[in-house]
Each structure stands twice: as C-alpha cells, then as structure tokens.
Structure 1
Amino acid sequence: MSRLTQAVVLLLFGGAILRASLTDLYLRYVKEGLRPFLIAAGVLLIAAALATLWYSLREGETPDDHHEHDAPASGAPGDDDGHGQGHHEPRVGWLLILPVLGLLLVAPPALGSFAAGQAGSVSAAPASDSDYPPLPPGDPAPVGLLDYASRALFDDGKSLTGRNLRLTGFITPASDGSPMLARIVLTCCAADGRPIKVGMTGKVPLEVPADAWVEVTGVYSPHRAKDPVNDVDVAYVEVTSWQEVPEPKQPYS
C-alpha cells in the first residue's frame, strides 16, 4: 500500500470517528464521557493523513509507485511469476476500509434483548456508605435500574419504601418467557456491556415485544429471583402503570 493510499485510509478513519463523535452516533459504541477523547483521536488521524498526503504529493508519488520501489531487481529470484508479471503486495490492506464504510453508512442498533439474554445480570453493589442517599425529588421519583437493584437487594428497599418510582428500560424475556426490564451497563464501551435486569410484578407489560422501550411506574417489591445465566440475585418492582417510550438518546447506563 503506497503512502498516498495510507493517507486516504487515515483520512477516512479520522473523518468517520470525528463524524460519529460530533453526533449522537458515538453513544452506540462508548460512554458519553469519552466524547472528548474521540474528537481528539479523530483530529489527530486527520492531521496525520493530511501530513502524509502533503509529503506524498510533494515527492510526486502515485498510488503505483510502491510497486516499482518494492519490485526486485531484474533477474533476481522471484522477479517473475512465470507469466511475465512481477509480484505485487497483497491488497488485503484495503479491507481496512470496510469498518470505515460501516461507520459512515450504517447506524447500528444499541445492544438489546439478545445481548441481555446471552449474558448474566450485573451484580449490583451495595452503597459505599452505610446509608443510601435520598431518592431524587418528584412523584414518581426517577431511578436507574442499577440503583434500584442495589437499593432493593442490599438495603431491603428501606430507601425505596413509600415512594412511587419511575424506571426506564427495554423489554427482555426471562427464561420462562415473562418480560423483564433491562438496560446495558458499560464500563468503557459496548464491547464490555453487561445487562442489569429487573423483574416485574403487578401490571406487567405482557404484550410488549422484546427490545421495545418502556417507562414503568411502580413501587418497591420484596420479591427476588435468580438469573439462570450466572445465578445473580435479581430485584423486582411492582408495576402500577407503564407506557412505551422512544429509545433514549443515551441507551446505555
């Protein structure tokens, strides 16, 4: 691959990363806080591509120059393949364009019920302090699934009792087919995403298809179960009402 071609590939990579990071597309791949690093990486790649392009054009290099530079001297072993043609470098390097085209042309869906069904629920952790902080104001109080599971499992619902709660997630089927509320939790990027699952009792949205996003209003339920994938405790919420909602801009927790 010539230096000129390398510059084009770098330019496409940098442009794709910059385009994704300047829109909400990057939220399908990484956590929101990594946006500045993606922008910096895209700018650096574009700068490297432009520098390489300028250097190549200054020397008058063409895309086929590398074949002439790398070809063995006339008469040397391997000079000819028996058909009067010299050897060329493999063009497998052009496959680097494929992920770039995928990033530019295809907006992949966020991880959903399939990923949640293949992985065990995240093990909720207790609060670092002995007591959980008060819930946010409002009725119902908005609570994240991971925060709800932690309070329900390790605080026995003491900080949840007496409050109406609002939880948002996508529907994923449990092993018995009943719907659960789930959200993918990221440590860094989608590659390390793990689901947090919360079971539902009461007015369960039975007719909602998998991957549909719902907002449920409910109260703390003492019911618990085990995730059969990894034997982790799963908290439950008693649903009093629910409604389908659009997928949020930031689908991950």
Structure 2
Amino acid sequence: MSSSEPRLPSYLGLGSVLGVALCTLWLAVAGHLDLYINPRYSVFTVVLAAVAVPASVAGLVVVARGHGHAHGDEGHDERTGGAARLTRIALGGVAALVTIGVTAAMLVLPPTTLSARTAQQRSVDSATLSDAAGSEAAVSLLGSGSVDTSEYGVKDWAALIRQTTDTTSLVGKKVELSGFVVPGSDGSFTLTRFVISCCAVDAQPVGLAVVTDGGVPDEDQWVTVSGALAANPDQSADARIVIRAAKVTKIAQPKDPYEY
C-alpha cells in the first residue's frame, strides 16, 4: 500500500483506543470502574489508560501529518490534492466521531451491573465455581463449632454446598445474605451474585435457591434474605439445599455488587 492510500484502519484504531482510554479514566474518576473489572486490577488499568490517551493522540497527529507529507510530494495535480484533503478530513472526522460517540455514551448512559437475564443465560451456580477460592478449607472445618460462617457470602455458601457430599451437616445453619432476584418457575427464586475473576466479561453468576411463604420479589430486585439452610422440598430439583427464608427485605443495590 502506498503512503497516499487511505489509512482508515489507523485512524479508527487510534480513535477507538483514545475513546476507550477516556472512558476508563472517566469511570475511575466517577467511582464506577469496579462495576467492570476486579478492583485488584484498577490501578494497573488506570495507569494504562493514562498512558494511552497522549499516545493515541500523538499517533493520530503522526498519521495525519504523514498523509499531508505524502500527498505534498506526489505532484501538483489540483484534483489529486483536493481528493487527498477530502480523504484526510473524512478519516479524521470518522475517528473523531468514534471517539466522541463512545465517550459521550459512557458519560450520558449510567453504568449498570449485570442482570438476572445475564445470570440465566450464563447458568447460575455452574460447576466452574465448585473450587471457588477459600471454600475448600471451609468444607473441611465445617464440623467444628469454632468455624465462623458469619462472613460467608453467596459464593462461599454455594461452593460449600456443591462440594459437600453429606449436606445434612448444613441443614439448620443460619444465614443472612444479600443478592439480586432471579425468579424461579415454582414460586421460589434464586438469590444471586456475580463473581468476577478479571472483568465483567468473565463474570460467573452464583446463587442459592430461596423458599419463602411470601411472594417472590421482582426480577433484579436486590434483597437481604435471613433464614436457615434446609433440605430442598423439591427432590427433583438440582439444588439439594435451599434457604428457608424467615425474612426477605428489599434493599438498594450495594455500591460493590460483585463478589471476587
């Protein structure tokens, strides 16, 4: 490809990098970056974005100047020169629109967490979470009265239930957990959280079935469930243990809705 040919991939690529970097910095400043990535990667991501902004701007300037120099050396044909200028203007405009569009969308549209629909699509409490970090030690110590389960989250209990062969040892354990509602088909619901290893793309939903004498809250509603673990009355269900809810309280979505 000669230097006079349009360099659309260069403009679009650099413009996209600039847009993503600006959006990342905005999310960090607004305190929403943790809705998209694991907090342990936040500093690294912000540093990369801060470097990417001036680097991509410099790249766009270099590409634009390269077009100007290349066309300036090709002759003095007025029509060719006019077409070259129009090409540079068009490519620069496209790159600018991509950058402005993506950035404006991030500024205007409020950041949202993953939803119950996403949880259903990704299969709540899949086998991939059976070896969740920290759960193996909890299983081996559960028979001891000294084990403190008060800080266990949805991920910990779900992994514990999946790894325990004799679930009778879990029956009666008191729990108070928060998550969002994924309605079931039988009047129950699944108390669900997303577990993030790296970013929202790899988020895995994990949950516990809840049986309550009250009505099922709306889909995606955040609730705190207080009750005790019990054997699932539905023997045909996949979940062997459910939460027999004594109280279901609606709450606002927490600032950090994910588990890690």
* Coarse TM-score class (shorter-chain normalised): 0.7 to 0.9
1:128 matched residue in structure 2:
136
> What is the TM-score with the length of structure 2 in the denominator?
0.71
Q: Deviations over 1:162-210 (max 9, x none)?
A: 542111110112245642211112221111112112111133542x211
* Corresponding letter in the other structure for 1:237: I
1:247 matched residue in structure 2:
253
Contact 2:181 2:221 in 1 (8 A): yes
Structure 1 residues 7 and 113 mapped into 2: Cα distance closer, same or farther (>3 Å)?
closer
Structure 1 residues 67 and 240 mapped into 2: Cα distance closer, same or farther (>3 Å)?
same
Contact 1:197 1:234 in 2 (8 A): no
Match of 2:117 among 104, 114, 117: 114
Structure 1 residues 49 and 245 mapped into 2: Cα distance closer, same or farther (>3 Å)?
same
Q: SS in structure 2 opposite 1:45?
A: helix
- 1:93 equivalent in alignment to 2:98: no
Partner Cα separation in structure 2 for residue 95 and residue 111 of structure 1: 28
Partner Cα separation in structure 1 for residue 148 and residue 30 of structure 2: 29
Equivalent pairs counted in the alignment come to 235
Matches within 5 A, 1:47-58: 47-48=54-55, 52=58
* Corresponding letter in the other structure for 2:106: L
Contact 2:177 2:226 in 1 (8 A): yes
Contact 2:182 2:219 in 1 (8 A): yes
- 1:185 equivalent in alignment to 2:189: no
Match of 1:203 among 194, 207, 213: 213
Structure 1 residues 44 and 159 mapped into 2: Cα distance closer, same or farther (>3 Å)?
farther
* Corresponding letter in the other structure for 1:190: A
* Corresponding letter in the other structure for 1:88: T
Q: SS in structure 1 opposite 2:136?
A: coil
Q: Deviations over 1:59-100 (max 9, x none)?
A: xx9x97555334353459x938xxx74461553434541333
2:69 matched residue in structure 1:
69
- 1:172 equivalent in alignment to 2:182: yes
> What is the TM-score with the length of structure 1 in the denominator?
0.73
Contact 1:119 1:194 in 2 (8 A): yes
Unaligned runs of 5+ in 1: none
Contact 1:169 1:181 in 2 (8 A): yes
Q: SS in structure 2 opposite 1:195?
A: strand
Contact 2:12 2:95 in 1 (8 A): no
Unaligned runs of 5+ in 2: 1-6
- Deviates further, 235-244 or 9-18: 9-18
Q: Deviations over 1:6-31 (max 9, x none)?
A: 99876654443223123421122111
Structure 1 residues 19 and 75 mapped into 2: Cα distance closer, same or farther (>3 Å)?
closer
